[in-house]
Amino acid sequence: MHQQDIDAIKDVHLKAFGPDEGPDIAALASALLARQDTILISAKRAGKIVGNVLFTPFIFQDQPEIQCHLLAPCGVMPDHQGQGVGKELMETSIDHLRTIGTQAVFVLGVPTFYPRYGYAPTDKQTPYPDLLTLPNSWMALELQRGTLAKLTGKTLAVAPIMPAVFWDTSVFD
């Protein structure tokens, strides 16, 4: 990946998440992009990246053989929000993840956006279950039928997104 694309993706997240969260989310995106196992899906308009979503492995320690991914972050440039970019990102990524054998996808996100694409609140654990004060914000999308019923126990995300600050929903209460 070219540095120009990395910078454009960081800029999407910086602007999408605003001055308070943007710098931390852009730094997270940069750290995730440095990993070989990160899946990235971007949307372009007029040759420029205007939306981006990243997926990284998400492990259930009792069932490490079940292929799950964590969706984070997902951002759309403010001047392109409400124009179908988010929908394009979601539909493209779901198709891609299904074709590579992903069995389930998890997201800690806006409970009014992700359900449009099949995500539903889940009782599966986050890496910090005690920090989940908004249970409807923790959602899963089952890409292979029966997968969620098999998943139990503690979870582990990749190192850049493991800090507790990324899992604490009390800041949104």
Domain locations along the chain: 3-172
- 3-state secondary structure (DSSP) of residue 62: coil
Calculate the dihedral angle through the C-alpha atoms of 152, 154, 157, 159, rounding to the nearest 10 degrees: -160
pLDDT band at residue 1 under the 50/70/90 scheme: confident
For 9-58, how does the pLDDT look when each residue is reduced to its tens digit (9 = 90+)? 999 999 999 999 999 999 999 999 999 999 999 999 999 999 999 999 99
Per-residue pLDDT band for 137 (boundaries 50, 70, 90) equals very high
Residue 77 has pLDDT above 90, yes or no: yes
In this predicted structure, what is the pLDDT of residue 171? 82
pLDDT of the residue at 173? 64
DSSP one-letter code for 126: P
Q: Contact, 55 vs 63, CB < 8 A?
A: no
> What are the structure tokens assigned to 139, written together?
């959602």
Backbone angles phi, psi at 140, to 5 degrees: -135, 150
- Give me the architecture of the 3-172 domain, per CATH: 3-Layer(aba) Sandwich (3.40)
pTM of this structure: 0.96
